[in-house]
Structure 1
Amino acid sequence: MGEQAVRDAAVRAGEAAVELAVASRAAKDAALSAMADALVSRRAEIIAANETDVRGARAAGTGAAMLDRLSLDADRIDGMAAGLRQVAGLPDPVGEVVRGSTLPNGLELRQVRVPFGVVGIIYEGRPNVTADAAGLTLKSGNAVLLRGSSSARHSNAAIVAVLRDALTSVGLPADAIGLLPGESRDEVTHLMHARGLVDVLIPRGGAELIRHVVEGSTVPVIETGVGNCHIYVDASADVAMARDIVLNAKTQRPSVCNAAETLLVHAAAADAVLPVLLPALDAAGVTVHGDETVAAQGKALDIAVTPATEEDWGGEYLSLDLAVAVVPSLGAALAHIRRWSTGHSEAIVTGSQAAARTFTARVDAAAVLVNASTRFTDGSEFGFGAEIGISTQKLHARGPMGLPELTSTKYVVTGDGHVRG
């Protein structure tokens, strides 16, 4: 797809965005419901397309984590439809008054939420993102240009065809949802350079993709980030609670960005925690990459521990691997997190309110969790509906991005013949 074709698609999206910006909530919610129904009624063709992608990925030697992200089944498609219905039930952010007042000169001032216009989303694997992104951008009054990876091109094409048909069935423009074929990297470059036609880009994927978009785009970018998420087990932690949280955060779905990648254990708790956690992790199939103290404990328990390297502390495994270290203090845990964190999600397990307050105040991340799994950092779990991504930047949006984060604002100033003196 050449540059002009990408720009033409952006123009069509812009024309659709003009209509969406003034569409009523009822019209948008009807479209979301139609989209959800269509996904369910046509899921057989979506699954067939997905099977083509999965076969190709297996043949290419794709790893288990990426295959999991790529794969769709009836339950996952039903989940996509449920996400759209959940978004339909959420308040419409467009037109919300963020603040307002009457100025001393009598002018009425209101700051109201408005759509961005055309949102470009570049993402890897995970064809469920196609429906999530389409639903959230539609509800927030935006048109979307989707560019998924080549590995999911058949799945994405099938999903977008279903969603576009649903839009036209309720009288909204099909070009509110556009897909750029995932066949050439040139399309990504053209989208990144469509300044003036695309209002904002949101990359979702690995560190290399995100860095490429952030550094090379002339279109404004909202940066989503990788998740080197830590769990710190404090000296006062309940051992059973720590076990349950760590196992959930690591094993419930290891291929996603809010899965835990590093476990830090206070030295005062290590003798109680490690003999419980290491066998539990081993039974769950987790490979532990541990420091010397953890390795010694593993040897005593006859559990294999892989010696940890510097790369283990900074990496995002996205697999059943976990880096584990024993630290002498809460301060040492905070220093470790400060050095290696990607700013996504960090958790503490503790029975001390003072430790919890210190941790939440000093950890710099989009989400900080106390006595809860990092897997809760998710738009759906937070009640936002299907998220557009988890932003790890600090401007405009941070954390799971729901509907308000897909809007900008404008000031509406109303006078009665006012002129400035």
Structure 2
Amino acid sequence: MDDRDLATEFATMAAMARSVAPALATLPTATKTAALHHAAAAIRDDRDAILAANAQDVAAAETNGLSGAMLDRLRLDPARLEAMAAGVEAVAGLPDPVGAVIDRSERPNGLVLTRVRVPIGVIGIIYESRPNVTADAAVLAVMAGNAAILRGGSEAIRSNRAIHAAIERGLTAGGLPEGAVQLVQTTDRAAVGEMLRAEGLIDLIVPRGGKNLVARVQAEARVPVLAHLDGLNHSYVDRAADPVMARDIVVNAKLRRTGVCGSTETLLIDRAFADPLPILTGLLDAGCELRGDADIRALHPDILEANDDDWNTEYLDAILSVKLVDGVDAAIAHIAAHGSHHTDAIITGDAATAERFIARVDSAIVMWNASTQFADGGEFGLGAEIGIATGRLHARGPVALEGLTTYKWVVRGTGQIRP
């Protein structure tokens, strides 16, 4: 497909999305809920076809040398597919944000002002690897009253097509207009450029992927971007941490699933913590490669030397950088210098220290005595998520239904005129 054909195809998709957006914005909650239940049923009905398509993607990715962590993100199985369908149903069961009154006030002149949630319009989602994002992004956009244009990664193209076909069939069976959710069918990287230049056609771009993808989107986009940066997350073990709790949380935070954005990538341990060795051996025994500074390496012979890049690396693998620090302020300073403002945690029994950490760490999610693996919209009770926003504007943290809406002011009067 040459550039002119690609531009024409995308313009057609964008025009369709723009044409159906007003109808989606005013759909009754019951209609959207029913359509999502139809979509979940369609995913289950197409299970064999989706898994077969995914098996082809995985085989091609293995041939192309995709990393183990990326293969884990790509791979579907019956349990993950059922979780995908259940996630669609979970979104259907959430309160509809459209029309919700954020606040209300009355002016001295009798004017009544309300701020009301409304859809954004047309949302473009650009993502890599995880085919479940096709389902999550589609149903979140629709439930929030938006049209969506999805562009997944080339490594998951067969899976994405199969999932999208099921969802599209389910949504239309449930009464939604055709074109509510469209999938860019080509793997040509130029399609991303078309989306980024779609000023006036797309209202918001949501990138979900690696650092290179997000950097390109932020550099080239002519439409607003809701960025999901890399998860360069930290767990800090304070001197007042319970040793058993600290070991259990850290091992889970790193190794439960290494390929998710909530995985801890750097472990910071207070130099005054009584005995770091059980935490380190717990990680090593579970198969985690540790890279540490000189103080950490002195504690165990199997720990490798960390270099400067390790403190700035999102491994997405069973690798963890480890450093001793001089108390909570040093931990906060390290996180400020090397973190990505995604998710950072403190493990301590000292409430004052915890509150200091919470107040001073400038991340979208800050945790106390909990695994960073909880950085997930579902675990927050938000249903599926479209990503975790690490910026400071519009939405921050897990972006679910409310994050895909904006608001308008409604002013109700009784004949007032301004003097």
TM-score (norm 1): 0.97
Q: Quick check: 1:283 aligned with 2:285?
A: yes
Q: 1:298 aligns with which of 274, 297, 300?
A: 300
Within the candidate set 399, 414, 418, 1:416 is matched to 414
For residue 256 of structure 1, report the CA deviation from its aligned partner.
1.0
Query: Does residue 290 of structure 2 align to residue 272 of structure 1?
Result: no
Gaps of 5+ in 1: none
Residue number among 259, 263, 266 corresponding to 1:262 in the alignment: 266
CA distance in 2, matches of 1:372, 1:133: 27
TM-score, normalisation: structure 2: 0.97
Per-residue deviation, 1:268:
1.2
The code of the aligned residue for 1:44 comes to: D
CA contact (8 A) 1:133 1:387 kept: yes
Tell me how far apart the structure 2 counterparts of residues 174 and 252 of structure 1 sit (CA, whole Å): 40
Distance in 2 between residues matched to 1:413 and 1:232, nearest whole Å:
48
1:318 & 1:340 partners in 2: Cα distance? 16
CA shift digits 1:361-412 (9 cap, x unpaired): 1111001100000011110000000011000000011100111111011112
| 1:96 matches 2:100 | yes
Question: What are the residue-to-residue correspondences of 1:241-256 with 2, within 5 Å?
Answer: 241-256=245-260
Given residue 298 of structure 2, which amino acid in structure 1 is its aligned partner? A
State which drifts further: 37-46 or 103-112.
103-112
Which deviations, in whole Å up to 9, do the C-alpha atoms of 1:272-301 show, x marking residues without a partner? 12x2012211111100001111111112xx
TM-superposed deviation, 1:14: 1.4
CA–CA distance in structure 2, aligned partners of residues 417 and 333 of structure 1: 59
Q: Say whether residues 1:397 and 2:395 are aligned partners.
A: yes
| Deviation larger for 119-128 or 277-286 | 277-286
CA–CA separation in structure 1 for the residues paired with 2:317 and 2:83: 23
Name the aligned partner's letter for residue 297 of structure 2: A
Identify unmatched segments of 5+ residues in structure 2. Answer: none
Identical amino acids, percent of aligned pairs: 47
2:308 aligned to which of 310, 316, 328: 310
Q: Distance in 1 between matches of 2:209 and 2:178?
A: 26
SS in 2 for 1:174: coil
**Separation (CA, whole Å) in 1 of partners of 2:400 and 2:323:** 35
Q: Aligned partner of 2:17: which letter?
A: A
From 369, 373, 376, the counterpart of 1:375: 373
Task: State the Cα deviation string for residues 143-181 of structure 1 (Å, max 9, x = none).
Answer: 110000111111101111111111111221131110012
Q: Report the Cα offset of residue 327 of structure 1.
A: 1.0
Q: Quote the residue 1:388 is aligned against.
A: 386
Question: How far apart in 1 are the matches of 2:280 and 2:106?
Answer: 62
Question: Is the Cα–Cα contact under 8 Å of residues 36 and 174 in structure 2 kept in the other structure?
Answer: no
AA at the equivalent of 2:108: P
| Alpha-carbon contact 1:229-1:260 (below 8 Å) kept | yes
Distance 1:218 1:383 in 2: 33
TM-superposed deviation, 1:182: 4.1
Alignment of 1:160-239 (within 5 A): 160-239=164-243
Separation in 2, partners of 1:174, 1:362: 48
How much has 1:19 moved relative to structure 2?
Answer: 1.1
Pair 1:87 & 2:85 matched:
no
Cα distance in 2 between the residues matched to 1:291 and 1:195: 48
State the distance in 2 between where 1:330 and 1:183 align.
46
Give yes or no for contact 1:148–1:182 (8 Å, CA) kept in 2: no
Matches within 5 A, 1:71-150: 71-150=75-154
Residue 64 in structure 1 maps to residue 72 in structure 2: no
How far off its partner does 1:418 sit?
Answer: 3.3
Cα distance in structure 1, aligned partners of 2:178 and 2:54 = 22
The alpha-carbon deviation at position 338 of structure 1 amounts to: 1.0
Aligned residues of 1:20 and 1:141 also touching (Cα < 8 A): yes
Return the offset for 1:322: 0.3
Q: Which moved more, 1:174-183 or 1:340-349?
A: 174-183
Q: Which amino acid aligns with 2:177?
A: P
Deviation at 1:194, TM superposition (A): 0.6
Count the aligned residue pairs.
415
Within the alignment, does 1:8 sit opposite 2:12 as a pair?
A: yes
Cα displacement (A) at 1:101: 2.1
CA contact (8 A) 2:57 2:157 kept: yes
* 1:70-129, Cα deviation, whole Å (9 max, x unpaired): 111111111111111111111000001111222222222221000001000000010000
Classify the secondary structure of the residue corresponding to 1:93.
coil
